[in-house]
Amino acid sequence: MAKEKTTFTCTECGGTSPRWLGKCPSCGAWNTLIEQVAEAGPGKNRLSAPQGYAGLANAQPVLPLAAIEAQDVARTPSGIDELDRVLGGGIVEGGVVLIGGDPGIGKSTLLLQAMDALQRAGLPTLYVTGEESGAQVALRSRRLGIEGSQVQLLAEIQLEKILATVDAMQPAVVVIDSIQTTYSDQLTSAPGSVAQVRECAAHLTRMAKGTGIAVILVGHVTKEGALAGPRVLEHMVDTVLYFEGDTHSQFRLVRAIKNRFGAVNEIGVFAMTEKGLKGVSNPSAIFLSQHSEPVPGSCVMVTLEGTRPLLVEIQALVDSGGPSPRRLSVGLDKDRLAMLLAVLHRHAGVACMDQDVFVNAVGGVRISEPAADLAVMLSITSSLRGKALPRGFLAFGEVGLAGEVRPAPRGQERLKEAAKLGFSVAVVPKANAPKKPIEGLTIHAVERVEEAMDVVRGL
């Protein structure tokens, strides 16, 4: 048996080293070297290549693009509408999906529901559980009311055994729950290590491409919010979905952050109920908290990170801080918060230097689009002054370092949704101001952040 040779590869520059080093010898980045099997010797335990890709040794013909027939990929809807929406229509033959999220957020629940629906639609499915025993999964299926399910279950964590089962069973879809518990005995590194996760995912991806079996990998998110084995897995797979939401609230978002077969940033919205996850087909108002009277430090925005607008309340609390005041954000980018505070000070004369500033996007939703800037700034100012924004108020727009307010994509749609939900006053970037008035909505179009502050003062 050929001796396994491991090298260490830098995740930043791709440089290699024969030993693990804290600092990459090529680019000088710290903690970027990860173990990698350089030579996959024909080990005794290694499975032979699945049928179908042995033929890859023969080079494919080179053809001009025009001569190649473009085929739309065939998708099988999972039967769960909100999941199909993020997948771009359904499960794709040979497609590999990575689904990440905090523990307890509902990954296993959603996938068990989806597998049961696919199985009932006539696709043979295999659910490989490495985190829970078969009995635990059965218990969950009772809870979901699918106890008669024909989904095949395998409680196994060793990759070679999983691949052998898949080979023998030839399912249409395989779920690996989770990729972090899966290990290959060909590698010396510990299960759950980056090298193991990466090699196992690479094997499963090759198997999917070679056989046309769709593979769904469940991945855990580290404390910093990245999938363990950062970036490496995201590059390998076709689709990356992330679960968002607060485990204390009922609502969960599934967001596509990469999709070779569909739109990115599409979101699916679910509610966790006693009987599993239920799709929320009209979600625009679920992230608004109900205040009987308007309160200081709260501003509603419309976010549009998919095809549907969502109204989200941004809350801020500004309170006198110590010598080094804190800036904390939940659901919003912390660096961006620091930048917005600087812009507020410099261009609108609102100083928070000696204040603690906390901001939060209500409901555990994460907002990455800069269109949240204006709402963040207005909620901070509102909290600082102890003055609530009027009832039915909303704002959106990106704010630049020079204090300019830049337009958000598809402003009309955002405004229409807000009007539909009964909002009556909006502060928006000038370029987003609609040509025709929207019934029930007074729109203040602004070009600069100080202008926005003036408008709000006069309301």
- The footprint of ligand TYD on residues 106-135 (CB under 6 A) is 106-109
Judged by CB under 6 A, does residue 103 bind ligand TYD?
yes
Q: Shortest approach of Mg ion to residue 131 CB, angstroms?
A: 5
Does 203 contact ligand TYD by CB under 6 A? no
CB of 142 to ligand TYD, least distance (A): 9
Which residues from 63-102 bind ligand TYD, rule CB under 6 A? 101
Binding flag, residue 226, ligand TYD (CB under 6 A): no
Which one of 108, 196, 205, 284 is in contact with Mg ion (CB under 5 A)?
108
Question: Cβ 303 to Mg ion, closest distance in Å?
Answer: 28
The contact pattern for Mg ion, residues 60-99, with x = CB under 5 A and - = no contact, is ----------------------------------------
> Is position 444 an interface residue for ligand TYD (rule: CB under 6 A)?
no
Please give the residues from 232 up to 291 whose contact with ligand TYD meets the rule CB under 6 A: 272, 274-276
According to CB under 6 A, which one of 29, 144, 317, 438 is a site residue for ligand TYD? 144
169 binds, among Mg ion, ligand TYD, none (CB under 5 to 8 A by kind): none
Residue placing its CB nearer to ligand TYD in the complex, 128 or 372: 128
383 counts as binding Mg ion under rule CB under 5 A? no
**CA torsion sign, 36 to 38 to 42 to 43?**
negative
The option from ligand TYD, Mg ion, none interacting with 106 (CB < 5 to 8 A, set by class) reads ligand TYD
Shortest Cβ 443–ligand TYD spacing (Å): 41
Site for ligand TYD in 15-44 (CB under 6 A): none
180-219: which residues touch Mg ion (CB under 5 A)?
A: none
Q: Is 219 in the site for ligand TYD (CB under 6 A)?
A: no
What is the binding site for Mg ion (CB under 5 A)?
108
What is the binding site for ligand TYD (CB under 6 A)?
101, 103-109, 140, 143-144, 272, 274-276
